[in-house]
């Protein structure tokens, strides 16, 4: 199943099999389920197992029920997570470029605040005087209340995967006596996700996906999730030993090497540039960066 948030309504994504087009099309969940599920995308996570059972049996290939759309109309697949976790230094080469040994236990975990969450295609205002950087990541979406789950059972607690961009303003992030990871990565628009949630059964190997990030067409990050130091099921298991994970929660699972901070010379996003972040088998995000409108008080 591919589940998206089309202008505030839950939709299943399908492709037209007539051969005329491979453009994705949307089937409205509320209408297709005769009112049983939706239309609010966030409401589906409250009883994900029931929704998922229905979606697997739902007929979404009837062309008259599917409509075309523009990706700018998409919102976050899970638009109201109670918590957004992010994992730092979870790829060896990224830990090295950041000046750290690879973590031997659980890598650093920090929050991305929910106010920074958006859909997949957006315009992001660069914080004034900041060094804004890119981090493409696979994001796991939690599908049921989870506490003390084992690694073996963890996939049963994951609704699906989506693409995330952990946009990071490095000056804020690294200022002060201890790093301000949560704030530096939570400016407005700094947590784009989408274009849709893809369930694990749709992916040949949900633990081995290529992820990449291109800045104005130049490839800056290229990695595979089979290089995660702590893979997704173990992340869920380890987090759930300490915190309760709620349906709809997001886990940004870490970024591979190639961020601007780790380059020599360092490099950051400039106004007018476009960042495309993609994960194999899922889709892509597209962020265009702009400067703050005139007249706004500097930070």
Please give the residue whose beta carbon sits closest to Zn ion in the complex.
166
CB of 4 to Zn ion, least distance (A): 23
Q: How far is the CB of 193 from Zn ion (least distance, A)?
A: 13
70 CB burial (10 A radius; 0-12, 13-18, 19+): exposed
- Identify the burial level of 205 via C-beta atoms within 10 angstroms of its C-beta, where 0-12 means exposed, 13-18 middle and 19 or more buried: exposed
3-state secondary structure of 132: strand
Closer to Zn ion by CB, 11 or 141: give it.
Answer: 141
**Alpha carbon distance 88, 253 (integer Å):** 8
- At closest approach, how far in Å is the CB of 270 from Zn ion? 21
Q: How far is the CB of 259 from Zn ion (least distance, A)?
A: 9
Q: Are strands 66-67 and 24-28 parallel, antiparallel or unpaired?
A: antiparallel
Identify the residue whose tokens are 């601007």: 260
Q: Considering the complex, state which of residue 71 and residue 78 has its C-beta at the smaller distance from Zn ion.
A: 78
Q: How far is CA 45 from CA 32, 50, 201, 288, in A?
A: 17, 10, 18, 30
| CB contact set of 118 (below 8 Å; sequence gap of 6+) | 75, 76, 189, 191, 192, 193
**Largest Cα–Cα distance of the chain, in whole Å?**
60
Which residue lies nearer to Zn ion by CB, 133 or 214? 133
Q: Which one, 41 or 88, has the nearer CB to Zn ion? A: 88
**Shortest Å, Cβ 258 to Zn ion:** 12
DSSP lists the bridge partners of residue 279 as 211, 283
Q: What are phi and psi of 72, to 5 degrees?
A: -70, -15
Contacts for 251 with CB less than 8 Å, ≥ 6 apart = 84, 85, 86, 87, 139, 140, 142, 232, 235, 236, 239, 245
Chain residues in the site for Zn ion (CB under 5 A): 135, 166, 255
Taking the complex as a whole, the smallest distance from the CB of residue 252 to Zn ion amounts, in Å, to: 6
Please, which residue, 251 or 276, has the CB nearer to Zn ion?
Answer: 251
Nearer to Zn ion, 2 or 212 (CB): 212
CB-nearer residue toward Zn ion: 172 or 255: 255
* CB of residue 161 to Zn ion, shortest distance in Å: 15
């Amino acid at each position: 199943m591919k589940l998206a948030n089309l202008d505030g309504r839950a939709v299943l994504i399908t492709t037209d099999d007539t051969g005329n087009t491979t453009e994705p099309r949307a089937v409205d969940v509320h209408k297709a389920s005769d009112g049983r599920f939706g239309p609010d995308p966030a409401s589906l996570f409250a009883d994900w197992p029931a929704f998922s059972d229905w979606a697997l049996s739902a007929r979404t290939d009837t062309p008259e029920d599917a409509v075309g759309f523009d990706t700018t109309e998409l919102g976050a697949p899970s638009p109201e997570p109670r918590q957004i976790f992010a994992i730092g230094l979870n790829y060896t080469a990224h830990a090295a470029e950041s000046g750290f040994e690879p973590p031997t236990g659980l890598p650093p975990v920090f929050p991305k605040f929910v106010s920074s969450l958006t859909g997949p295609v957006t315009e992001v205002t660069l914080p004034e005087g900041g060094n804004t950087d890119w981090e493409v990541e696979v994001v796991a979406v939690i599908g049921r209340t989870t506490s003390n789950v084992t690694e073996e059972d963890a996939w049963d607690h994951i609704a699906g995967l989506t693409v995330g961009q952990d946009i990071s303003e490095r000056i804020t992030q690294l200022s002060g006596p201890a790093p301000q990871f949560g704030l530096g990565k939570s400016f407005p628009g700094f947590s784009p996700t989408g274009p849709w949630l893809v369930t694990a059964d749709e992916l040949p190997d949900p633990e081995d996906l290529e992820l990449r990030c291109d800045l104005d067409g130049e490839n800056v990050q290229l990695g595979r999730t089979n290089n995660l130091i702590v893979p997704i099921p173990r992340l869920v298991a380890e987090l759930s030993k300490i915190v309760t994970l709620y349906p709809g929660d997001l886990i940004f699972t870490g970024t591979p090497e190639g961020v601007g901070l780790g380059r020599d010379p360092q490099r950051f996003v400039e106004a007018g540039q476009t960042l495309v972040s993609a994960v194999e088998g899922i889709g892509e995000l597209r962020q265009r960066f702009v400067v703050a409108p005139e007249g706004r008080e500097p930070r």
